Amino acid sequence: MFKRNRRVNVFLGAGWLLFALVVSCQPVTALAQAQEPANAPKPERTSAKLIPDCKAFAGSPPTIIDLSELFAGTVIDTGDPLELSVKHNKNEKKEIATATIEDSKLKLEWGNVGKTEITIRAHNLKTDKYVDVRFNAAVWHPDYSKLIMTVIGGLGIFLLGMKNMSEGLQAIAGNGLRKMISLVTNNRLMAVGVGTLVTTLVQSSSITTVMVVGFVNSGFMNLSQAIGVIMGANIGTTITGWLLALKIGKYGLPLLGIGSFSYLFIRRDRIRYTALAIMGLGMVFFGLELMKDGFSMVKELPAFDAWFARFDATTYLGVLKCASVGCILTLIVQSSSATLGITIGLAMTEVIPFETAAALVLGENVGTTITAWLASLGATTNARRAAYFHVIFNILGVLWVTALFGKWFLPAVNQMLDLAFFQRLFRVDAAAGINVTVKIAAVHTTFNVINTLLFFPFANMLGRLLERLIPQRDTKEKPHLTSLDIRMLETPVIAIEQSRVEVLRMADGCNKMMDWLEELMPQDEPDQKLVQKVFHREEVLDTIQDEMVAFLTDMLSANLPHNVIDEARRQLRMADEYESISDYITSILKFHLKLNNQGHQFTAGMKTQLAELHVMVRDYVKMVTEGYEQRVAEVITKAKSVGSEINHRVRTLRDDHLQRLTDKKVEPHVNVAFTSTLNSYRRVSDHTLNVAESLAGVK
């Protein structure tokens, strides 16, 4: 009981103490209120953002801001004079910007690199109201290493994206791309269409023109076909600008991520290479965004701004100057896609105006011809003519368009973009107008389409002009593989078609050797010129095989679709088989020549038997070669039947010969030559069957 009362007393005591403290405080508060003046003035203060943040390059001259009309319409605007004062952030340790006011003008003198806050106070003494205007003043110095690395890094990612997108599209197109090449005929309109489609897929006119030079060099295309494809390539390369005109720059990284994961973790070829193309597209836009970030720094540098201001495309000489710069840059980097990306990046950040960007694009069309010209060095005359046509075609085009650039060409492009179709297509903002990237893409496409339409009717005339300017060499030229064709490894889907042409050349060489051998076998005194032709052709086939092995080995070391890998392996096997066929054909001729040198001849019966066997083997080789040329894998069925028939015929002839040896004496040299010849024909038949099996995919 005692403990309970004590606890109650403690709580009651604490309550009384708290009450006493509250009561004791009331008089003090009242006293404090009583001591304040009843009608003390309270100045009315407001804040406003009337001056934007200021940024200056280190060492820049002072910035003058007129404050006389700054406060018009504010709460302190009564028409009475205002008292202006300025103060800096008190915590600033170094002098970044010094602000002074004289005659209603704010003078900012720039100091150390950094950022500070400045407050301008305007006080109306009559109304006792004032406005505080706060803004940031910053002094900066360019980080050139960051600028260079950002631009270079962005350009590298941009180009790698173009390469990945090209490889992905090529792999997706696959056989369709090869069929496009096979559709090229003497019809120039068809050739222009093929050139446009192929370049759209490979995303590079340089690759297409180098491919054309390689095809002309190997005899797969003639000059007329090449001219049409080159014209189409100039149109197809403009698709790059339209891709960049898509407003999906912010989706560059997501596309890159989605494409990368799909490419790494999905095993189906078609899906993987679709993902590779998407990843490349993402890299293109991400790289362009990085370049834009770098160029935005360039715009704020007075020296660079003054340098770019020199390239003014408002005059004819200015257009030529800008076009020359675009040409030289493309000559250096050997990629019109790279210089196009740089041009668009500069235009989007307003470092250069649209007119300058358009003139640069015209020069880039000329600069891109350097790749094909380099590819033609050491090539055949027709291959050099094709490369020079690309140069002449673009130079003449730039000459006429620069003459009409400001007065006709650009206004025509702008009028075209003002059409309702383009306005809806690109969802044009009425205030902002057409995006500058769309304008650049339109200039690029319009120029190349009009240029093709202008020169298309005169293509044959230009071809004859090139034949006069680049006459045929005195020595007979033969199409051949060269190291220049290694450039075609950038387009493996087309490169595999180039190597197929060389396999067919080897097959054609074997067919010719069989025909020449058929002429030589009956001759008692062999034609020495024809003999030399057989031996020379065998050496040519050896060289072609060596170059094909190097070419296809380099190709197989790259990242290729499975169908291209399988085709490359088939071609390697076929090249080896045809080279072996040529070896055994020369062996047959050597046995015949050796027998003649020893003063012996086959008997009439032997000659007849060998002639019949030769016809069987010759027709067999031609049949399988035609099957490969026409891509008829079913030729394997007939090839097995004919091969078995030839082997049976060889065994029969050998048995007859052995019987002949028992019936009468046969010279040992004749015996050896005959049996060796039979064996060589059988080996030719076996290797021909191997070609058919390779065509059918039989291992």
Confidence class of residue 688 from pLDDT cuts 50, 70 and 90? very high
For position 185, what pLDDT does the model report?
A: 66
**Of residues 506 and 224, which shows the higher confidence score?**
506
DSSP SS3 for 326: helix
- Count, residues in the chain: 699
pLDDT of residue 325 exceeding 50, the answer is yes
**Of residues 482 and 442, which shows the higher confidence score?**
442
Percent of the chain with pLDDT over 70: 86
For position 433, what pLDDT does the model report?
A: 58
d(CA 532, CA 94): 91
pLDDT of residue 657 exceeding 50, the answer is yes
In the chain, helix, strand, coil percent, each to 5? 70, 10, 20
Buried b (16+ CB within 10 A) or exposed e, 545-564: bebbeebbeebeeeebbeeb
For position 647, what pLDDT does the model report?
A: 94
For position 90, what pLDDT does the model report?
A: 56
**Strands 63-66 and 105-110, sheet pairing:** antiparallel
d(CA 246, CA 344): 13
Classify burial at 323, counting beta carbons within 10 Å of its beta carbon; exposed 0-12, middle 13-18, buried 19 or more.
buried
Q: Which two tokens stand for residue 264?
A: 């790494």
d(CA 29, CA 11): 28
For position 677, what pLDDT does the model report?
A: 93
**Of residues 366 and 75, which shows the higher confidence score?**
366
Residue with token string 């494809």: 229
Q: What is the mean pLDDT of residues 264-290?
A: 89
Question: What does the pLDDT look like over 602-641, one tens digit per residue?
Answer: 888 888 999 999 999 999 999 999 999 888 889 999 999 9
pLDDT of residue 6 exceeding 50, the answer is no
Q: Which two tokens stand for residue 155?
A: 């350009």
Q: E-strand spans in 141-203? A: none
Return the closest-CA partner of residue 442 out of 404, 420, 411.
411
For position 335, what pLDDT does the model report?
A: 79
For position 620, what pLDDT does the model report?
A: 96
For position 464, what pLDDT does the model report?
A: 86
pLDDT of residue 559 exceeding 80, the answer is no
Confidence class of residue 257 from pLDDT cuts 50, 70 and 90? very high
Confidence class of residue 461 from pLDDT cuts 50, 70 and 90? confident
pLDDT of residue 88 exceeding 80, the answer is no
DSSP per position, 24-49: HHHHHHHHHHHHS-TT----EEEEE-
Confidence class of residue 23 from pLDDT cuts 50, 70 and 90? very low
pTM given for the model: 0.68
Give the alpha-carbon dihedral of 303, 308, 312, 318, to 10 degrees. Answer: 110
**Of residues 69 and 503, which shows the higher confidence score?**
503
For position 1, what pLDDT does the model report?
A: 39
d(CA 660, CA 662): 5
Sign of CA pseudo-dihedral 100, 102, 107, 111: negative
For position 19, what pLDDT does the model report?
A: 43
- Integer CA distances (angstroms), 26 to 13, 23, 44, 409, in order: 21, 6, 31, 88
Confidence class of residue 518 from pLDDT cuts 50, 70 and 90? very high
pLDDT of residue 540 exceeding 70, the answer is yes
pLDDT of residue 269 exceeding 50, the answer is yes
Question: What does the pLDDT look like over 429-443, one tens digit per residue?
Answer: 544 557 888 889 999
d(CA 465, CA 120): 75
DSSP per position, 402-462: HHTIIIIIHHHHHHHHTSHHHHHHTT-BTTTBS-HHHHHHHHHHHHHHHHHHHHGGGHHHH
For position 218, what pLDDT does the model report?
A: 66
**Of residues 447 and 140, which shows the higher confidence score?**
447
Q: E-strand spans in 37-104? A: 44-48, 54-57, 63-66, 83-88, 97-102
pLDDT of residue 477 exceeding 60, the answer is no
pLDDT of residue 164 exceeding 60, the answer is yes
Return the closest-CA partner of residue 303 out of 147, 110, 437.
147
Question: What does the pLDDT look like over 113-159, one tens digit per residue?
Answer: 888 888 888 888 888 888 888 888 888 877 778 888 888 898 899 88
Helices 336-348 and 316-333 meet at what angle, rounded to 10?
130
d(CA 388, CA 376): 9
pLDDT mean across residues, the chain: 82
Q: What is the mean pLDDT of residues 240-262?
A: 85
Residue with token string 């050349």: 505
Confidence class of residue 488 from pLDDT cuts 50, 70 and 90? low
Q: Which two tokens stand for residue 312?
A: 């003014």
Q: Which two tokens stand for residue 97?
A: 């910007």
Question: What does the pLDDT look like over 176-215, one tens digit per residue?
Answer: 776 777 677 667 788 898 889 888 887 778 778 877 887 7
